[in-house]
Amino acid sequence: MNVHDSERMAGMLEAAGYVPSTGELADVVVFNTCAVRENADNKLYGNLGILAPVKAANPGMQIAVGGCLAQKDRETILKKAPWVDAVFGTHNVGALPALLDRARHNNEAQLEILESLDVFPSTLPTKRDSVYSGWVSISVGCNNTCTFCIVPALRGKEKDRRPGEILAEIQALVDDGAIEVTLLGQNVNSYGVEFGDRQAFSKLLRACGEIPGLERVRFTSPHPAAFTDDVIDAMAETPNVMPQLHMPLQSGSDKVLKDMKRSYRSAKFLGILDKVREKIPHAAISTDIIVGFPGETEEDFQATLDVVEKSRFATAFTFQYSKRPGTPAADLPDQLPKAVVQERFERLTALQDRIAAEENARQLGRRVEVMVTAQSGRKAEETHRLSGRSQDQRLVHFSVPEGADVPRPGDLVTVTITEAAAFHLVADPASAADYSLRRSRAGDAWDRSQADSCGAGPTSPAGKTGASGKAGVSLGMPSLPVRGR
C-alpha cells in the first residue's frame, strides 16, 4: 500500500511539472513513511539528519515528509528537523504539490494533517512503476482494533470504493498493457462493509475474471476472522485469480491472539488453510508473525512454532514486536526483554527457512508459467539468468536456451524447475524444447515504453530503471555525498 501511495506522489509531482532527478542531487526529496515499527522512526530522523547539511549547501532544495509517521508525529517532525519544508498525512496525499509551492512562496514550513480522507487516492495521478503489473486500492482504513497496531489511528475507518470504479481502473490498466493486478486493502476481504454487502469481495474477484486480457489477479491482505467460504470458492473458480494467498497469523497462541484482539483462534486459522488447499491444491500461502508480544510465554511461543509447522507456509514475514506509543499493547505489563525476543525470533526464522526450503523442493520437476519482471537476481551478470514470478508468486530465476528468443518484461515463459532454495527457484532448460515463450500485450507495452524513452532505458530486463525506461518510483534514499566528504 505504501508503494502504491508512492506511485501517487510521483504521479502528482510529474503532473505538476516536476521530473525525476537523474543526478546525485534532487531539488525535491519526498519521504513516504511507515509507522508500523519503531525502526521507521529511526530511519526517517536519521535520513533527515543526513540531508540537513546537503540542504544547507543547496538552499533551494525542498524536503517533504508524508505517510503514516507524518500523520502520527505531526509537529514533532518540524521540531526535530526544522529544515523540512512540508509535512502531510495519510488523508491528504493530494496536497503535496500545493504544500511545496506554498512553502516556497511563504519561505516557511507547511504542516497539513487531516483527520479524515480528503480524496480517495485512486482518483489522483499516478506514475506506475510497471507497465505489466499494477496495484489497485479497493479500500483504505481499518475497522479492527488489534492492540499492537497503530494503522487504524493513522489511516482511519474503512472506506470502500464502489465496484464500478475499481473495475474501471483495472480496465484502464489492462488497456495500457498490464496483465496483472493486485487488489489492496488494509483488510481486503472485509470489502463491502461500508455499503452492506458481505459477499462484495468474492463478487469483485469473479468480476475480475470477466475482464479480457487480465491474466493474473492477486490481493493483499485479508484478515482470517472475515475470510469466508465464498472467497475461497471465488479463488478456486476464477481462472485468473492466482493460487497464492497471504494470510496473517500473527501468533499461534490463542491466549496471545486474544490479547492482540485478533478475533480468531489457531484452529480457525488452520481450518481456513485446509479449505484453501482442498479447493486449490497447489496454493502457496504466506503469512505475517509477531514474536515477543507482551506477556508471551515460552508455551505461547511454542504454540506459534506448532502452527507454523502445520501450516507449511511458502514464506513468512517475521517481526519482533515493536512497541508503538498510542497502542493498547504499549501499556500492557510483561514487556519482554530484547534478548528473549531475539532468541525466539531466531528459532522461528530457522524453522520457517527449513519449511520454505522443503516446500520449494517439492516444486522440483514442475512445469511453471513465469511472468518475466524487469528486475533480475543479484547474480544475474554471472549466471545470465532472468527472473520472474510463477503463478503462485514464487521467485524463479531462469536461463534462456541458446538460440531461443529472449523474453521481454511482461512476457510469459514456461519452464521446468531444476533447483530449489529457501527463497527462490531455478529453471535451467536443458534444451529449447523445454522452454516455451509466450509474448504478451504487456511485453508489447514494455517495448512501447522503451521507444517512448528514445532508447534511454535499459536494453535488457536486468536494467535498473523502471518500466518507462526512466527512473521508476524511488522507494529509498536518493544518492547523497558520504559524510565528511
Which residues contribute to the annotated binding site?
Answer: 142, 146, 149
Q: Are 379 and 336 in contact (CB under 8 A)?
A: no
Going by the annotation, the residues of the binding site for [4Fe-4S] cluster are 142, 146, 149
Q: How many CA atoms lie within 13 Å of 456's alpha carbon, on the beta-carbon side?
A: 11
> Kind of pairing, strands 86-88 and 110-112?
parallel
Q: Are 215 and 180 in contact (CB under 8 A)?
A: yes
Distances (CA, A) of 69 to 35, 90, 214, 354, 386: 5, 9, 35, 35, 37
Q: 287: which strand partners?
A: 316
User: How far is Cα 465 from Cα 282, in angstroms, rounded to an integer?
Assistant: 33
Which phi-psi region, left, alpha or beta, contains residue 403 (left: φ > 0; alpha: ψ -120 to 50)? left
Count of beta carbons in the 10 Å neighbourhood of residue 317: 13
Residue of 12, 123, 109, 116 lying closest to 65 (CA atoms): 109
Interhelix angle 298-311/338-361, nearest 10 degrees: 10
DSSP state of 250: B
Cα radius of gyration rounded to whole Å, the chain: 23
User: How far is Cα 260 from Cα 328, in angstroms, rounded to an integer?
Assistant: 9
Count of beta carbons in the 10 Å neighbourhood of residue 336: 19
Q: 316: which strand partners?
A: 287
